[in-house]
């Protein structure tokens, strides 16, 4: 894990209409990972993004992609199938 802190799934946020088009066009699941914090005030006049959080997001993305590769290699099937199994 990229961070020593416990991580959790939180389903919230706005809609990104193009995501359905990506899934239909490319035929693979899409994963969106948010790394913002509640006090970042996204889209507000005092919006911010804490740099350590930004860099932890990069590390997390690297770990996620590596885990996808390892799971796909271990299961000997495509990564999108592994993704379906991991996120349910």
Is residue 83 situated within a structural domain?
Answer: yes
Domain limits for position 69: 34-87
Is residue 18 situated within a structural domain?
Answer: no
**Confidence (pLDDT) at 32:** 84
Residue 75 to residues 23, 29, 82, 85, Cα–Cα distance (Å): 23, 18, 8, 11
The number of folded domains in the chain is: 1
**Confidence (pLDDT) at 70:** 86
> What is the pLDDT tens value at each position of the chain, 88 positions in all?
556 666 666 666 667 888 888 888 988 888 888 888 888 888 889 999 999 999 999 999 999 889 888 887 887 766 566 566 655 5
The predicted model scores a pTM of 0.64
**Confidence (pLDDT) at 79:** 58
Is residue 6 situated within a structural domain?
Answer: no
Residue 28 to residues 18, 23, 40, 80, Cα–Cα distance (Å): 14, 5, 31, 6
Is residue 23 situated within a structural domain?
Answer: no
């Amino acid at each position: 894990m990229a961070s020593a802190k416990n991580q959790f799934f939180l389903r919230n946020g706005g809609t990104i209409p193009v995501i359905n088009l990506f899934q239909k066009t490319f035929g693979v699941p899409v994963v969106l990972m948010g790394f913002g914090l509640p006090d970042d005030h996204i889209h507000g006049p005092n919006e911010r993004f804490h740099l350590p959080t930004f860099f932890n997001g990069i590390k997390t993305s690297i770990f996620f992609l590596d885990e996808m590769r390892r799971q796909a290699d271990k299961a000997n099937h495509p990564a999108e199938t592994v993704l379906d199994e991991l996120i349910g």
